Chain A
Amino acid sequence: MALLEVKELDVSLSTAMGPARAVRNLDIILEKGQTLGIVGESGCGKSMTALALMGLLPENGTTSGEILMNGEDLLVKSEKEMCKIRGNRMAMIFQEPMTSLNPVHTVGRQIMEPLRLHRGLSKKDAFTEAVNLMERVGIPNPSERVRNYPHQLSGGQRQRVMIAIALSCSPDILIADEPTTALDVTIQDQILELIQNLVKEEGMSLILISHDLGVIAENTDKVLVMYGGTVVESGATDQIFGNLTHPYTQGLFAAMPKLGMGRNGRLTTIPGTVPDLINLPTGCTFTDRCPLATSECRNTVPVAFSLEAAHKVSCHHLDQAIEARGEGLYK
């Protein structure tokens, strides 16, 4: 049995203009010690997926499907049971460090809280451990910084406090939503290495959400590429990066600024914007932006096609997409 198995997860958010379907028909299998990356454009439902797993969706959110952790469905658990699971067996590093930290308490106190609650440490031990954790995530002068309030720390330091809190109870599954986007490359390196060590030494499993394809390539075993709330391409990390296939995945890659390209030329962009989740197109959600789209795409939802082993792509025009890998689809 996989540690985490998500089956046909749907997340819908009610809004004034009708339900917004933020996540559709999503499957995840995560084994112990495995790392899974989720990439995709802003607004494609990455955070909503993570929040659904944690049972922390906004009030207007509803879910259907199954989220099985060791075979137990988390979607039927009570809030009290979920509270025990969160922070203990499953922890999340949130994308928004400033809104998730309490501005009126010192960061030390906020790191100590779960240590006392879940690990039952005394106040003194929790304090020592908090300073330790701050040191591990690379906050300078931790014994002084432990008394700071969130606004007295830099953006990256706050993010590291969030990471310290998530790591404090050695969870089985860590969900990291853009954990290093606020950080410079050297600290990013340190944090990712710290997380990787926990994966290796303690068999922790990791779901890493990032729009940085470099970070995903270097830190995950497998990848889901999401678009408009659903998975368009999935597979082992090496397969995906070795053979970018879905037109959307190819576009993401082409849009990335690469060191060494200098100031010449423009960055490639994928034309258009993400679909309106309230009025989703009937067929493939990427139709309006796809250089390969035909009327078939507009009308029928593509099914996932297995290229090799676990590498799956949902596209009506696979052959053309594969052919275009070399010269690029977007001009």
Chain B
Amino acid sequence: MSKTVLKVTDLVRHYPLPKESLFAAPKFVYALNGVSFEIKEGKSFGIVGESGCGKSTLARNVMALEETDSGSVQILGEEVVGKSFNELRPLRQHFQMVFQDPYGSLDPHHNVGRIVAEPLAAIGNLPKREKEERVAEVLSSVGLKPTDVGKYPHEFSGGQRQRIAIARALITRPELIVADEPVSALDVSVQAQVLNLLRDLQDSFGVTYMFISHDLAVVEYLCDEVAVMYLGSIVEKGRTEDLFAAPAHPYTGILLDAVPKPAAGKKRDRIRLSGSVTGQTEKRNGCAFQDRCPMVDDRCKRETPMLKEVSPDHFAACHFSKEMMARAASV
């Protein structure tokens, strides 16, 4: 049995909203409502879901970058929730994050060499030579030139900056990398290089990934397992091939259907999501997806569906998961 690198249990995070008036009751954004999953060593776990459903919030809480309301996050068996920044420092070299926003996360006053070498501080004093070698090595592994070390972030294009951010995360050779949309700013050819690189690192060093992406083809290529989030909860999870072959939640089905295809010819016919996300700032009865679900029924408005096993290692939170899977099997 391989060891568990990341174990997340019942994670909850609610953000208070600015009040409309002094006396109004406080309102919250229910960004995470009890999320649980675990990732085994050397595996990649994908997280997909609509914009605003809580993916980055989950990443920030896993990385202990903000206060968590409740729940637990264990990295290599150690609890990180509630630990102070200093207590976490020695652990940090084992888990690194690539942020969604490559612009905001690179300090504009530092040159690339310094930015990329920064996480090495957690390891202690390395000789200058070794530092420089490591920087050159990671830069070339993400497709940048060794001569780029002297340049500043503003001298790079969007995709190039994202590669700097990835290089920085790789430099301590961490066990766990939490990557928030790491390739969505990259064009396909660099994306292919980076995805191949992420897979190679996994093959040679056994790195574990928690990988957030809205690109389902990318998730399919990289991830062993995937969780689909909707409004702060996991609504479906399982092995990637099972879940993509037979989605058991209507939202997953719609996501798979919405992927644009670069074949000649324009718009395809497809199921469209009607309505916009509601309920992010209110607690309500029944299924969170009820307003937009093509299969909705009275029961969905009364009873909140729980995550249950629909086939081995494949979980879904929908009253109609059987019908969904039967439909997938029939086409």
B51: interface (CB < 8 Å) = yes
A186: interface (CB < 8 Å) = yes
- Name the one of B15, B191, B220, B277 contacting A152, with C-beta atoms under 8 angstroms: B15
A182: interface (CB < 8 Å) = yes
B25: interface (CB < 8 Å) = no
- Name the one of B100, B144, B273 contacting A182, with C-beta atoms under 8 angstroms: B100
B129: interface (CB < 8 Å) = no
Bound form: Cα–Cα A189–B188 in Å: 20
Chain A residues, CB < 8 A from B83: none
Bound form: Cα–Cα A98–B104 in Å: 7
Cβ B190 vs Cβ A41 within 8 A: yes
Bound form: Cα–Cα A281–B57 in Å: 46
Cβ B188 vs Cβ A263 within 8 A: no
Bound form: Cα–Cα A159–B228 in Å: 22
**Majority SS of interface residues in chain B?**
loop
Bound form: Cα–Cα A242–B266 in Å: 12
Bound form: Cα–Cα A129–B273 in Å: 24
A326: interface (CB < 8 Å) = no
- The number of chain B residues touching the other chain, given as a range, is 35 or more
CB distance from A41 to the nearest CB of B (A): 5
Residue interface bits B253-284, CB-to-A below 8 A is 1, else 0: 01110111111111110001100111011000
Binds B, one of A139-147, A164-172, A198-206: A139-147
Cβ A185 vs Cβ B259 within 8 A: yes
Residue interface bits B94-118, CB-to-A below 8 A is 1, else 0: 0000001101100000000000000
Chain A residues, CB < 8 A from B268: 218
Cβ A156 vs Cβ B196 within 8 A: no
Chain A residues, CB < 8 A from B199: 266
Cβ B193 vs Cβ A47 within 8 A: no
Q: Which one of A189, A216, A241, A251 has the highest number of Cβ atoms from chain B below 10 Å of its Cβ?
A: A189
CB distance from B304 to the nearest CB of A (A): 19
Cβ B214 vs Cβ A184 within 8 A: yes
Cβ B260 vs Cβ A270 within 8 A: no
Bound form: Cα–Cα A99–B268 in Å: 35
Bound form: Cα–Cα A58–B181 in Å: 27
Cβ A183 vs Cβ B276 within 8 A: no
Bound form: Cα–Cα A138–B258 in Å: 16
B216: interface (CB < 8 Å) = yes
Residue of A nearest to B159 (CB): A42
Bound form: Cα–Cα A218–B50 in Å: 21
Cβ A183 vs Cβ B51 within 8 A: yes
List CB contacts (< 8 Å) of B128-174 with chain A.
143-145, 154-160
Bound form: Cα–Cα A135–B278 in Å: 11
Residue of A nearest to B157 (CB): A43
Bound form: Cα–Cα A257–B260 in Å: 12
Binds B, one of A3-11, A207-215, A298-306, A314-322: A207-215
Cβ A257 vs Cβ B103 within 8 A: no
B187: interface (CB < 8 Å) = yes
- Name the one of A97, A157, A214, A251 contacting B262, with C-beta atoms under 8 angstroms: A214
CB distance from B324 to the nearest CB of A (A): 17
Chain B residues, CB < 8 A from A216: 262
Residue interface bits B192-203, CB-to-A below 8 A is 1, else 0: 110110010000
Known A155-B101, A269-B189; contact A259-B259, beta-carbon cutoff 8 A: yes
Bound form: Cα–Cα A270–B258 in Å: 28
- Name the one of A40, A58, A188, A261 contacting B220, with C-beta atoms under 8 angstroms: A261
Residue interface bits A261-286, CB-to-B below 8 A is 1, else 0: 11100111110010000000000000
Cβ B101 vs Cβ A211 within 8 A: no
Residue of A nearest to B18 (CB): A147
List CB contacts (< 8 Å) of A126-181 with chain B.
135, 138-141, 144, 147-148, 152-157, 159-160, 178, 181
Chain A residues, CB < 8 A from B187: 39-42, 211, 252
Bound form: Cα–Cα A97–B190 in Å: 22
Cβ B189 vs Cβ A96 within 8 A: no
- Name the one of B56, B144, B241, B276 contacting A155, with C-beta atoms under 8 angstroms: B56
Chain B residues, CB < 8 A from A214: 259-262
Known A148-B17, A157-B52, A178-B185; contact A183-B214, beta-carbon cutoff 8 A: yes
| A-B residue pairs in contact (CB < 8 Å), sample of 30 | A42-B160, A42-B186, A42-B187, A58-B154, A97-B101, A140-B276, A155-B51, A155-B100, A178-B158, A181-B185, A182-B100, A182-B184, A184-B51, A185-B215, A185-B258, A185-B260, A186-B255, A186-B273, A189-B272, A214-B262, A215-B260, A241-B262, A253-B188, A255-B188, A257-B195, A259-B256, A266-B196, A267-B195, A268-B192, A273-B145
In the complex, besides A97-B101, A215-B260, A269-B193, 8 extra interface pairs with C-beta distance below 8 angstroms are A42-B159, A47-B158, A184-B51, A188-B214, A211-B186, A214-B260, A217-B261, A259-B256
Q: Which 9 A-B pairs have the closest CB atoms?
A: A42-B159, A156-B51, A214-B260, A211-B187, A184-B214, A267-B192, A255-B192, A213-B262, A185-B258
